[in-house]
Structures are given as structure tokens and as C-alpha cells.
Copies of this chain bind each other. A is one copy, B any other.
Amino acid sequence: MVSVDHLHHDDCTHEHHDAKAIFAEQGIRCTKPRVLIYEALCSTKSHPTAEELHQIVKDQDAGISLATIYNTLELLVDHGLARRIANRGQGSGASRYDADQAPHLHLVLNDGRVIDAPTNLSKKLTDAIPHEVLQQLAQHAGVDALKIEIVEDTAAV
């Protein structure tokens, strides 16, 4: 892994995502559905559900099936290119997804919405937590890593 291609600067609204390069780096095939799905996920801050992503990419390629959305999202998550956000609230709430790699906290609301915590508050909270506490918790649970999530208190509706 001695590539020298991390020289391009960020340019667009958010960041630049060269899907092709990123997929190559991860050793996963570059297909049209994957590019469309990944770019759609990168270019939104709304933490869409699989269904919502399907609506978006169908505008660009009517043939993409919902199963492909699910397959691709699982692939992205497995390769660390996206996160699945725990679903909340009543009923059959759909999972939501996020490709934003910058460290930030999610506020998971009971109505299903997920919003990003403002950067300053996100940082304040994260910095306040002793690193070793999270580590000890992970050890207690027998897992590699844990992260914080902020969820609405279930009492309130």
C-alpha cells in the first residue's frame, strides 16, 4: 500500500469522493449502481433510509432495484465507507445510513429522524469522555470499539 494519490484537494460543497478510486482502494468492484448509491449517500446530510436512497438513484437509473441498495449499503458499511444508524421509535422503523467520515455525533429521535450534532457540541461531549472509560466498556463487552450515540428519551413523545 504505497500509493501516492492523496494529493487532490477537496473542492465541492462537502467533500470530494472519487468513488472509483475509493472502491479500487477497497478492492471492491466499481459498478454503476454502486457509484450512484455511494455518491447519493455522500451528497446528503439527511441520513437516508434504503428506501429513500432508492427513490434518489432511481431518478438517475430507473432500473436499480431495492435489493441492490441493501446489498451496496451492507458492502459500504463492511468497508467502513458508511455507517448504519440504529433505528428508533415505534414500529418498523427503517435503518438510516451516513457516509460522513468526519467525527460527529448523531441525535436519534423517536420519530425516526437522525440529525447531526453541531460540531462544537459534538466535540465538547466527545472530549469530555475519558478515553479509557470507553476502552474499558469495550473490553467489558468483548468488542473492538464502541461509540457514543445520543437518543431521544423514550418517555417523551
A contact residues vs B (CB 8 Å cutoff): 74, 77-78, 80, 83-84, 86-88, 90, 105, 107-110, 115, 117-118, 121, 124-125, 128-130, 133-134, 136-137, 140-141, 143-157
Contact = CB atoms under 8 A, between A and B. Distances in A.
B145 A151 contact: no
B78 A157 contact: yes
Contact of A129 (B128, B146, B153): B128
Quick one: copies of this chain in the complex?
2
A137 B121 contact: yes
Contacts of A141: 107, 109, 115, 152
A151 B153 contact: no
A156 B128 CA distance: 24
Nearest to A156: B144
Nearest to A84: B154
Contacts of A129: 125, 128-129
A145 B150 contact: no
Contacts of A108: 86
A68 to B, nearest CB: 17
Contact of A117 (B87, B137, B154): B137
A121 to B, nearest CB: 6
A129 to B, nearest CB: 5
A133 B140 contact: no
B77 A154 contact: yes
A141 B150 CA distance: 11
